[in-house]
Structure 1
Amino acid sequence: MAEEPHSFFSVARVEAYTDAVFAIAATLLVLDLTTNTIGEVASDAELWTALAAMLPNLLSFVISFLLLSRLWVIHFQQFRELERADGVLLWINNVRLLFIVLIPFTTSLAAEYPDYVAGRVALPVNFFVAALLGHATWTWASAKGGHLLKEEAKQDAYRSARAGLSAVICGAVAAIVSPWVGSWGFLAYVFNGPLGSLLQRRAARQRA
């Protein structure tokens, strides 16, 4: 009996679906601000006080939106180099999207329950797992000699791998320190760019 050929799928369809999920998650983030209504106010002073009370929610929204945007940039850079997708990549990507759509929920936990460990930890862990699965997506695509990559991308596959790995490392640091410092742990992502460049230079020296 002849072996069935391996099934491959259009990258464009996967990318379009993934972009839509990212867009929905970004939209849902702001709904937490709109559902926390200010209520009735009778003066400018009361309005400013009410707005100040929403600052934790606003801060969580800004942090989550920026980090979500960073994850989307990594996704964009990865899929630009893909020639095709297979079933394994589809499901790694689907599981990653599960954690992407959870971000609005874990963001609300960080804003509403910052005094509890679970409230401080949920969002950093969420981002860490999403970044880890993004890195796993590229690792699988570049495995087996780059079996899912465009021909011109195979030579520099390590560069995109290091960019995703730096996000994973920063996410791990943020998750580890979050029980003590909460959302301040996301400052670890400030080092994402320099760390990614360092990892790329180190990989280039090893390949030379």
Structure 2
Amino acid sequence: MIRSPRSASLSTRRIEAFTDGVFAIAATLLVLDLTDHSLGEVDSEAQMWAALGDMSNLFFNFALSFVLLCLLWRVHVQQFEHVQRVDTTVIWLNNARLLFIVLVPFATNLTTEYSEFVAGRLAMPVSFFLAILCSGLQWEWMARHADVMLPEMTTADVVAFGRASRSALIISAVVVAPAPWVGSWAFLPVPPRRRLHSGTAPQGRLIRGGCRRGECRRGDQYSLGTASTHSAPRVLTRRR
């Protein structure tokens, strides 16, 4: 039986470790396209450079997929910094996202090796679109039950994260639209930070180098960092 969000009693430790592992494996498998590619017969420096030049499209798709995976993982890390508890629905939405993450090496290979076909050119953009879709659905579910799953976030911060997730989904859909004609090159006009931006940090939480609420040691001194009203909320930093 699936527990209701109100009785969400699972910590995020296992889901974070599992997700980190899947992202790491998917990013590592991308290199197989490079190692499995044969340079052919090489008898001179000129032939060596020419053979490497012929791999330019392969190198491009490898680097692009690796960077996009890193950005998606970064969004996951930022979101789960604020998640306290999860339920079965969150777990399965996360599993759905990881399903498309592990398909990225295969999709990258299709886009590289079969770029003359529409299905090949669509493989990469569609895989990332579906992964972003699942990530957005997961956040929307947690936002609906923020009192249990995101108790330390303000309503404004939850809304900001949700707005950023929807923007990322829309932009990834825009990338898919021209993909039947240009393939993975459709990613290039989209700035990565806007495509996968995950919102600002919530007020009252500490960034790296500080401490979390309720975990500060006695005697530590903190000061408020400066920030404008239109930028990320102010955070506490520790004085050394």
Into which bin does the TM-score normalised by the smaller protein fall?
0.7 to 0.9
User: What letter corresponds to residue 175 of structure 2 in structure 1?
Assistant: A
Name whichever structure is richer in helix by fraction. 1
User: Is the contact between residue 8 and residue 86 of structure 1 (CA under 8 Å) also seen in structure 2?
Assistant: yes
Q: What's the counterpart of residue 159 of structure 2?
A: 158
SS of structure 2 residue aligned to 1:8? coil
Partner residue of 1:114? 115
Q: Indicate the percent of aligned positions where both proteins have the same amino acid.
A: 46
Q: Which whole-Å deviations, capped at 9, do the CAs of 1:19-59 have from their partners, x for residues lacking one?
A: 11000000001111111132441111111111011111100
Cα 1:166–1:188, aligned 2, differ >3 Å: closer, same or farther? farther
CA offset digits 1:84-135 (Å, max 9, x no partner)? 1100000000010000000000000111111110010111000000001111
Which residue is 1:97 aligned to? 98
How far is the alpha carbon of 1:196 from its aligned partner? 5.7
**2:168–2:195 contact (8 Å) kept in structure 1:** no
Are 1:30 and 2:27 an aligned pair? no
Written as runs of structure 1 = structure 2, the 5 A alignment for 1:16-165 is: 16-165=17-166
Cα drift, residue 6 of structure 1? 3.0
Q: Which letter does structure 2 place at the counterpart of 1:42?
A: D
Q: Bigger shift: 152-161 or 176-185? A: 152-161
Q: Distance in 2 between matches of 1:193 and 1:139?
A: 19
Rg larger for? 2
TM-score of the superposed pair, with normalisation by structure 1 = 0.86
The verdict on how the C-alpha distance between 1:146 and 1:177 changes in structure 2, with shifts beyond 3 A counting, is: farther
Number of residue pairs matched by the alignment: 197
RMSD: 2.5
| Counterparts of 2:147 and 2:72, CA distance in 1 | 22
Q: 1:120 to 1:19 in 2, by over 3 A?
A: same
Residues 8 and 148, structure 2, Cα contact 8 Å, conserved in 1: no
Q: CA deviation at 1:185?
A: 0.9
The offset of 1:189, in angstroms, is: 2.9
Q: Which moved more, 1:53-62 or 1:147-156?
A: 147-156
Q: Judging changes above 3 Å, is the alpha-carbon distance between structure 1 residues 101 and 92 closer, same or farther for their aligned structure 2 residues?
A: same
Gaps of 5+ in 1: 199-203
SS of aligned partner of 1:189:
coil
Q: Structure 1 residues 93 and 188, CA, compared in 2 at 3 Å: closer, same or farther?
A: farther
Q: Distance between the aligned counterparts of 1:40 and 1:82, measured in 2?
A: 54
CA contact (8 A) 1:173 1:188 kept: no
- Following superposition, the deviation at residue 153 of structure 1 comes to 4.8
* Higher mean C-alpha displacement, 178-187 vs 148-157: 148-157
Q: 1:145 to 1:165 in 2, by over 3 A?
A: same
CA gap of 1:153–1:18, structure 2 versus 1, over 3 A, is farther
| Contact map agreement 1:170 1:188 (CA 8 A) in 2 | no
Amino acid aligned to 1:121: L
